[in-house]
Amino acid sequence: MLSQLRPTAVWHYFEEIMRIPRPSKHEGKISAYLQKFGLDNGLETLHDDLGNVLIRKPAFPGYEHSQGVCLQAHMDMVCEKNGDKVFDFLKDSIQPIIDGEWLTADGTTLGADDGIGVAAILAILADKTIEHGPLEALFTVDEETGLTGAAGLSTEWLKSDILLNFDDEDEGEFCIGCAGGIDTTVAIDYNTCYCQPGVSAFRVKISGLKGGHSGDDINKGLGNANKMLTRILWNATKLFNIGLARIDGGNLRNAIAREAWANVVVDKGKEQEFKAMVAQFSEQLKFEFRSTEPDLSIDLNSIEVPQLIIDKDTQQKLLDALFACAHGVLAMSREIPNFVETSTNLASVKMDEKQIHVATSQRSSVESAKHAAAQKIEATFRMIGAHVSHGDGYPGWTPNPSSRVLKVGVDTYKSMFGHDPVVRAIHAGLECGLIGEKYPKMDMISYGPTLRGVHSPDERIEIKTVQMFWDLTLQILKNLK
């Protein structure tokens, strides 16, 4: 259905990619597809034990002495869907929908982050008429859940002097720096006890939120379903003898939680008061988030009384810690106007038979502030006796305003479109930080077409900007001679 869109080759490969399941840490099929593509096109094709793929294409005649350029994108995608959507990301194909000037998907993430970057690189590799110097195409795995592909990249693999990363989400801008990040995870032991007679059971559910990227969207005033649900439950414990049987919210560490629910029990005779309290908080939250979350829904439905509930001591400690847990912007930059320096995301709350698991992520363009933010979350949960651990984290990418490829990019953009592009650093994490750590002399920029709602089922790409991105890339490659 995308054959009507331009540039034809880019949309052709993007449509092929949408048919290939590629959740983070499950990139075997897309990695095999990329390797086959390289070999079918007679290009030098390498892969490593992680699943990263590197394809080399010789220079166009006359460009043999140009600096080598690496085109880079990640092959995995965030897998989020609406609660009522039946979809298996390990088996099913993404179902695209053209909605006016935008392309989106039917109830799931689209995978344009970063499938459109992968598709553009494939179109360049397959085209024998494009003028460019020696090319390398680097496709990495697991960018979305840990950047482990870039982290495990060999320091002997790349030969290029310049890297063009295709993972930015705003046409008309060049990114030259990004925040570093770290994950903080929590495990809380709990016991269960039998539900006493004389109670009614309800499910409280938060839905309809936009979600979004925990870096780029963290300063947009979006709602976090985990925080909203906790606020209701924490206040309910002050007014009623509620028991918590189950809690579940959010999914991915790098996505703001869109949905959350909890099963609770309330003493019989208190049902109407409990319903009134939830309705009151529903009105309050809808008013507070009226401009950023117009589709917020807070539902309360009767359910069958559960056999077991969480012990009261753990229940209160959990709700205290979740309510106190920081979420959102922690500090703005003192040097760059309107730029988020440090933030944290309360990503998910899940339960198994023995523990409650809380996943959070912290970001900062200041390394020490990144670790301080993680320690702040650690301190919050250590006060209730939880087990807290931190991931290895990843480094930020320090801006280089004197970059040659940046100058070529800016000059090319201005000559093509008649105005200056925006040059900025972003609060999201990019693989450029890890690649730059391994290849410190690599000159890098990141750019791409316009995407919105990434990491959520609202993900969409502005169709016309793909042509602009494509034309700009071909001209940059030509001008880097």
Q: What is the pLDDT of residue 305?
A: 97
| 217 and 358 share one domain | yes
Q: What is the pLDDT of residue 455?
A: 87
Instruction: Label the pairing between strands 260-267 and 328-332.
Output: unpaired
Task: Show the low-confidence residues of the chain (pLDDT under 50).
Answer: none
Q: Is 143 a catalytic residue?
A: yes
Q: Is 353 a catalytic residue?
A: no
Please give the residue range of the domain that contains residue 195.
Answer: 182-390
Q: What is the pLDDT of residue 83?
A: 83
Single out the residue of 341, 344, 342 nearest to residue 327, CA to CA.
344
Domain stop point among 390, 414, 439:
390
Q: What is the pLDDT of residue 318?
A: 98
Q: CATH number of the domain that 140 lies in? A: 3.40.630.10
| 162 and 106 share one domain | yes
HSE of 454, CA atoms in CB hemisphere, 13 A: 27
Q: What is the pLDDT of residue 254?
A: 86
Q: What is the pLDDT of residue 320?
A: 98
Out of 76, 144, 169, 259, the active site residue is: 76
Cβ(17)–Cβ(111) below 8 Å: yes
C-alpha R_g of the chain:
24
Q: What is the pLDDT of residue 398?
A: 86
Q: Token pair of 188, please?
A: 């809380």
Q: What is the pLDDT of residue 408?
A: 98
Whether residue 234 is contained in a domain is answered as yes
| 78 and 216 share one domain | no
Whether residue 193 is contained in a domain is answered as yes
Q: What is the pLDDT of residue 404?
A: 96
Single out the residue of 130, 56, 165, 65 nearest to residue 481, CA to CA.
65
Out of 27, 136, 142, 143, the active site residue is: 143
Whether residue 187 is contained in a domain is answered as yes
The count of structural domains within the chain is: 2
Please name the amino acid found at residue 275: K
Q: CATH number of the domain that 379 lies in? A: 3.30.70.360
